[in-house]
Amino acid sequence: MADTEREIERKYEATEDTRLPDLTRAAGVDRAVPRGRTELDAVYWDTADLRLAADGLTLRRRTGGADAGWHVKFPVALGVRDEVREPLSDTLPPSLAALLRSRVRHAEITPVVRLLTSRDVHHLLAADGTLLAEVSVDTVLAERLAGEGTGTGAAWTEIEAELADGADPAVLDAVEKRLRKAGVRPARSSSKLARALAETAAHRDEHGPEASAAPTASDHVLAYVHKQIATIVRLDPAVRRGLPDSVHKMRVATRRLRSAFKTHRRILDRAATDPLGAELKWLAAELGLDRDQEVLDERIGSRVEALPAALTLGPVRGRLRAWSAARRTGSRRRIIDVLDGQRYLDLLEALHALGTDPPLRPAARKAPGKALARTVLKDHRKLARRMDHALQLPPGPERDTALHEARKAAKRARYAGESARPALGRPAKRFVQRVKAVQSVLGDHQDSVVAREALRTLAIQSHAAGETAFTWGLLYGREEAAAEARERELPGVWARAAHPGLPADLKH
């Protein structure tokens, strides 16, 4: 199984004549211990069009040093990356190939750069001998192995300071302070690979970006669409690794993208986007199989824990666990199967094709202000119709269903406002905030509806097993009261989102 480590490091420019200053004068550092020289030989792999490098990822096969093997590095923040490792082998391990699949898709991965690094290592220790950081002076020789510039070489020296596991990040600040006083400056490249690719490129762009024409409606819509597609691609390996909240975030991105296709039908041809929307709906459903159950478990579980012991009668927690387990689909394995499947891969290819060659309609060339305001207001009117219908109904199942439909419309209107915000500015921001408040109230109401159905089922199961159903009935009543409170709150929240001034501001 692959090992994962969080890598926190900083890189600095150096020359062959650069010498490390006395780092024991850095705050918290007691000793700087030389650890000798290590020779590293790393081959970096990528697609012909460098898709991994474009997203800040690195895939390498490295020999030499204590961590020889295959490494994939995912950017987390500036100077922070997650490194996933597999033992040394002749071919790319399947586990790492899977993590790269959303970027690579059908493309072949081949060697693109070879780096030979001579590393002079120093360990920085605290007074008690605890390792704080590793500082190395790296002499690097790079060779381009594929693409334009094949055979071209480059050489440089750099200093790298990497935080030890569990150490205070302030150590790196203290080290940097000493390095800067010695005249050493931060590196311009984020990684050795980035520098190697830049310095071995056949043609370097010496000119800045050309001035562009005035932005159109499609520029803003496509920026939003590209962002959601990139989010799905970026979260794929996070879902595979089981990182917290990754499934939920990926599901939200699919919903945002699908909503954008519906909202902006005057910009993007629905003949191309409708089939993609159907596939995104399928993917969101697959991702949500256990997510919905997880949310329900958390809601009911928190309600149970809030009850006094005197009101918790019978094996309530055990019954809840058994009920939840029976409804789980084993979705962790199922989700991985979906991400490994051809249908998902075809969807990624189709989304990439749409982003590369978008199916624009004539309205796409219009100025963004009026064109995007029109689409946002259209979704707002749809929300208004559903809200008016729901609020006219008496309390009961029919009204619950109508409020759920209004919730869907609120979510779409909110996403429409988000996509238009760069063009419409503060009015769109205010619009999103007020519609989001409506969505929140409606969402909590719907969660209560679903929870009551679950509590009713739990009460029936408890009764059939000869257990008291008192606690489930009590919780049902509290959920009913919570839903009624939300319904009383809703007209006021909707009034703010339906204020005539809100859509009027979007038009200007």
Return the pLDDT at 65. 87
- What letters, b where the CB count within 10 A reaches 16 and e where it falls short, cover 431-464? bbebbbbbbebbbbbbbbbbbbebbeebbebbee
Return the pLDDT at 205. 54
Return the pLDDT at 327. 81
Query: Do the Cβ atoms of 468 and 462 come closer than 8 Å?
Result: yes
Work out the number of other CB atoms within 10 angstroms of the CB of residue 318.
10
Q: Are residues 343 and 444 located together in one domain of the fold?
A: no
Query: Do the Cβ atoms of 145 and 116 come closer than 8 Å?
Result: no
At 206, the pLDDT band (50, 70, 90 cuts) reads low
At 204, the pLDDT band (50, 70, 90 cuts) reads low
* Integer-rounded Cα radius of gyration of the chain: 28
Return the pLDDT at 470. 96
Q: Are residues 496 and 352 located together in one domain of the fold?
A: no
How does DSSP classify residue 365?
G
The CATH number of whichever domain residue 340 belongs to comes to 1.20.120
Query: How far from the centroid of its chain's Cα atoms is residue 471's Cα?
Result: 39
Share of the chain above pLDDT 90, in %: 84
With 70 as the cut, is the pLDDT of residue 208 above it? no
More confident residue, 108 or 294: 108
**Token pair of 64 as six digits:** 């030499």
Give the residue from 181, 122, 126, 336 showing the smallest Cα distance to 250: 336
Return the pLDDT at 466. 94
What does residue 35 show for φ and ψ, rounded to 5 degrees?
Answer: -115, 10
With 80 as the cut, is the pLDDT of residue 2 above it? no
pLDDT single digits (tens) 64-107:
988 899 999 999 998 999 999 999 999 999 999 999 999 999 99
Among 172, 199, 226, where does a domain finish?
A: 199
pLDDT single digits (tens) 463-473:
999 999 999 99
**Token pair of 399 as six digits:** 């009204």
With 90 as the cut, is the pLDDT of residue 39 above it? yes
Q: Which of 60-74, 204-218, 329-343 has the highest mean pLDDT?
A: 60-74
Q: Are residues 391 and 361 located together in one domain of the fold?
A: no
**Token pair of 344 as six digits:** 């998902």
Residue 282 included in any domain: yes
Return the pLDDT at 184. 94
Q: What are 62's strand-pairing partners? A: 42, 69
Mean pLDDT of 420-440: 94
Q: Are residues 111 and 256 located together in one domain of the fold?
A: no
Q: At what angle do helices 270-287 and 331-340 cross, to 10 degrees?
A: 150
Residue 414 included in any domain: yes
Return the pLDDT at 290. 75
Give the residue from 436, 370, 13 showing the smallest Cα distance to 183: 13
Q: Are residues 402 and 348 located together in one domain of the fold?
A: no
Residue 299 included in any domain: no
pLDDT single digits (tens) 271-302:
999 999 999 999 999 998 777 888 899 999 99
Distance CA 326, CA 111 (A): 48
Mean pLDDT of 202-213: 56
Distance CA 15, CA 159 (A): 9
Residue 116 included in any domain: yes
Residue 318 included in any domain: no
Among 164, 199, 234, where does a domain finish?
A: 199
Number of domains present in the structure of the chain:
3
Return the pLDDT at 1. 53
Instruction: Provide the residue range defining the domain that includes 451.
Output: 384-508
Q: Are residues 14 and 93 located together in one domain of the fold?
A: yes
Q: Are residues 337 and 436 located together in one domain of the fold?
A: no
Q: Are residues 400 and 347 located together in one domain of the fold?
A: no
**Token pair of 311 as six digits:** 């009101």
Instruction: Find the length of the chain.
Output: 508
Give the residue from 42, 51, 265 showing the smallest Cα distance to 147: 51
Among 171, 199, 227, where does a domain finish?
A: 199
User: CA dihedral in degrees (263, 264, 266, 268; nearest 10)?
Assistant: -130
With 70 as the cut, is the pLDDT of residue 474 above it? yes
Distance CA 136, CA 159 (A): 6
Distance CA 352, CA 373 (A): 27
Q: Are residues 159 and 246 located together in one domain of the fold?
A: no
Per DSSP, the three-state class of 374 is: helix
More confident residue, 17 or 211: 17
Distance CA 394, CA 400 (A): 10
Q: Are residues 250 and 390 located together in one domain of the fold?
A: no
Least-confidence region, from 77-81, 346-350, 410-414? 77-81
With 70 as the cut, is the pLDDT of residue 210 above it? no
Mean pLDDT of the chain: 92
Return the pLDDT at 405. 97
Distance CA 173, CA 250 (A): 34
Encoded amino acid at 225, one letter: V
Q: What are 153's strand-pairing partners? A: 143
Residue 211 included in any domain: no
Return the pLDDT at 417. 94
Return the pLDDT at 294. 83
* 257: Cα within 13 Å, side-chain hemisphere: 33
With 70 as the cut, is the pLDDT of residue 4 above it? yes
Query: Do the Cβ atoms of 382 and 413 come closer than 8 Å?
Result: yes
Q: Give the CA angle between residues 289, 291, 297 to the nearest 5°.
A: 115
The CATH number of whichever domain residue 185 belongs to comes to 2.40.320.10
Q: Are residues 187 and 235 located together in one domain of the fold?
A: no
Return the pLDDT at 379. 95
Per DSSP, the three-state class of 123 is: strand
Q: Are residues 396 and 422 located together in one domain of the fold?
A: yes
Query: How far from the centroid of its chain's Cα atoms is residue 140's Cα?
Result: 33
Distance CA 219, CA 238 (A): 29
Residue 483 included in any domain: yes
Q: Could you tell me where the beta strands, DSSP code E, fall in 339-389? A: none
First to last CA, the chain: 57
- Which residues does 294 contact at the CB level (< 8 Å), separation at least 6? none
Q: Where are the alpha helices (DSSP H) in 105-216?
A: 170-181, 192-199
Residue 81 included in any domain: yes
Q: Could you tell me where the beta strands, DSSP code E, fall in 126-220? A: 131-144, 153-163
